[in-house]
């Protein structure tokens, strides 16, 4: 920003160009609830089928590693983690 004149800087800092998130269209809350309910039911059925199909300790170990890995990835990319950028403002 050191080599810009006042008009270029004013154009760059226009409030309608900032990524504030106020204009984001979110979609239907009802559709999201229906999808979540269906996904929860299907996930529960698949989890039950996986647990009943396990035969020895090695399969339990693999399942445990997959669960730990999934939780770790969720924590790493979640919006509430420390470096997620929620403290930072874009623009001004």
Q: Structural domain boundaries of the chain?
A: 24-77
Instruction: Assess whether pLDDT exceeds 80 at residue 3.
Output: no
pLDDT at 19: 57
Predicted pLDDT of residue 79? 75
Give dist(CA 20, CA 32) in Å, integer. 23
pLDDT tens track for 45-91: 999 999 999 999 999 999 999 999 999 999 888 877 766 655 555 55
For residue 12, pLDDT beyond 80: no
Give DSSP secondary structure letters for 3-62: T--HHHHHHHT-GGGS--STT-----HHHHHHHHHHHHHHHHHHHHHHHHH--SHHHHHH
């Amino acid at each position: 920003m050191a080599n810009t004149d006042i008009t270029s800087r004013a154009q760059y800092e226009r409030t309608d160009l900032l990524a504030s998130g106020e204009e984001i269209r979110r979609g239907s809350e009802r559709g999201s609830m229906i999808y979540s309910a269906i996904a929860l039911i299907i996930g529960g059925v698949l989890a039950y089928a996986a647990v009943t199909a396990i035969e020895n300790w090695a399969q339990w170990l693999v399942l445990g590693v997959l669960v730990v890995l999934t939780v770790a990835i969720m924590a790493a990319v979640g919006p509430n983690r420390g470096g997620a950028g929620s403290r930072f403002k874009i623009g001004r």
